[in-house]
Amino acid sequence: MKMCLVVDDSRVVRKVARRILETLDFETAEAADGLEALAFCRAAMPEAVLLDWSMPVMDGLEFLRRLRKEPGGEGPVVVFCTSENDPIRIAEALEHGADEYIMKPFDGDIIEAKFAQAGLI
Amino acid sequence: MKPEDLEFVAALARNRTGMVLRGDKAFFIENRLGSLARREGLPSVPALIQRLKSEPDEALARGVAEALTIGETAFFRDRTTFERLAEDILPDLAAARGDKGLRIWCAGCSTGQEVYSLLMLIEENQARLGGVKAEILATDLSERALEKAQSGVYTQFEVQRGLPIRLLIRYFDKIDDTWRASAGLRQLPRWAPLNLTDDLRALRGFDVILCRNVLSHFDITVRSRVMEQMAMALAPDGCLVLGADEAASFPDAFEPARGGAGLYSRNPAFARAAA
What is the pLDDT of chain A when averaged over all its residues? 96
**Cα torsion B269, B245, B64, B218: sign:** positive
- Count of CB pairs separated by less than 8 Å, A with B: 32
Candidates A54, A53, A11; CA nearest to A30 is A11
**For an interface test with B, which of A79, A82, A114, A115 has the most B Cβ atoms less than 10 Å from its Cβ?**
A114
**Torsion angle in degrees (nearest 10) through CA of B53, B58, B59, B65:** 70
Pairing of strands B178-181, B190-193: unpaired
pLDDT at res. B271: 63
- Fold classified for B79-274: Rossmann fold (3.40.50)
Per residue in B110-120, pLDDT (tens digit) is 999 999 999 99
The least confident of A1-5, A74-78, B109-113, B249-253 is B249-253
Burial call B110-139: b when 16+ CB within 10 Å, e when fewer: bbbbbbbbbbbbbbebeeebeebebebbbb
Tell me the three state secondary structure of residue B255. strand
The values of phi and psi at residue B162, to 5°, are 95, -10
Residues of B at the A interface (Cβ-Cβ below 8 Å)?
Answer: 74, 79, 156-157, 160-162, 164-166, 168-169, 173-174
The span from the CA of B182 to the CA of A96, in Å, is: 25
Write the CATH number for A39: 3.40.50.2300
Cβ atoms of B91 and B75 within 8 Å: the answer is no
Q: Which residue has the higher pLDDT, A35 or B269?
A: A35
Banded pLDDT at B272 (limits 50, 70, 90): low
As beta bridge partners, residue A6 has A30, A50
Q: Which residues of chain B are in CATH 3.40.50.150 domains?
A: 79-274
Please count the other Cβ atoms lying within 10 Å of the Cβ belonging to residue B160.
25
Q: Where are the domain boundaries for CATH 1.10.155.10 in chain B? A: 3-69
Alpha carbons B75 and B152: distance in angstroms, whole number: 12
Digit-coded pLDDT (tens) for B183-193: 999 999 999 99
CA–CA dist B69, A100 (Å, integer): 33
Domain that holds residue A79: 2-117
Nearest Cβ partner for B161 among A85, A103, A113? A113
Give me the mean pLDDT over the B36-65 stretch: 89
Average pLDDT, chain B: 89
Fold of the domain spanning B3-69: Chemotaxis Receptor Methyltransferase Cher; domain 1 (1.10.155)
| C-alpha span between B196 and B167 (Å, rounded) | 31
Strands A26-31 and A2-7: parallel
**In this complex, do B162 and A113 lie within 8 Å of one another by their Cβ atoms?**
yes
Chain A residue with minimum CA distance to B158: A110
Q: CB-hemisphere CA count at 13 Å for A26?
A: 24
**Strand-pair category, B153-155 with B206-210:** unpaired
Name residue B229's amino acid: Q
Strands A48-51 and A26-31: unpaired
Number of domains in chain A: 1
How far apart are the C-alpha atoms of B34 and B29, rounded to whole Å? 8
Say if A84 is an interface residue toward chain B (CB within 8 Å).
Answer: no
**Beta-carbon-side half-sphere exposure of residue B252 (alpha carbons within 13 Å):** 7
pLDDT band, residue B66 (cuts 50/70/90) = confident
Are B105 and B139 in contact, with CB atoms under 8 Å apart? yes
What's residue B71's pLDDT? 67
Instruction: With CB atoms and an 8 Å threshold, state whether B164 touches A109.
Output: no
Other beta carbons less than 10 A from residue B49's beta carbon: 23
* A83 and chain B in contact, CB less than 8 A: no
Chain B's closest residue to A80, CA to CA, is: B165
Asked which of A41-45, A111-115, B39-43 is least confident by mean pLDDT, the reply is B39-43
Closest CA–CA distance from residue A25 to any residue of chain B (Å): 20
Q: DSSP readout, B14-77? A: HHHH-B---S-HHHHHHHHHHHHHHHTT-SSHHHHHHHHHHS--HHHHHHHHHHHHPPP--TT-
pLDDT at A94 over 90: yes
Is residue B248 predicted with pLDDT exceeding 70? no
Look up the ipTM and state it.
Answer: 0.93
Task: Identify the CA nearest to A45 among candidates A1, A8, A75.
Answer: A75
Q: Is the pLDDT of residue B136 over 90?
A: yes
A117 touches chain B (CB under 8 A): yes
More confident residue, B226 or A3: A3
| Buried b or exposed e, range B79-102, using 16+ CB within 10 angstroms | eebbebbbeebbbebbeebeeeeb
Higher pLDDT, B231 or A76: A76
Q: Which amino acid is at B191?
A: W
Partner-chain contact A85 B161, CB within 8 Å: no
pLDDT at B258 over 80: no
When pLDDT is averaged across residues A14-25 and rounded to a whole number, the result is: 96
Residue B160: list chain A partners with CB under 8 A.
Answer: 102-103, 106, 110, 113-114
| Angle at alpha carbon of residue B215, lines to B74 and B236, rounded to 5° | 100
Instruction: Please report the pLDDT score of residue A51 as a whole number.
Output: 98
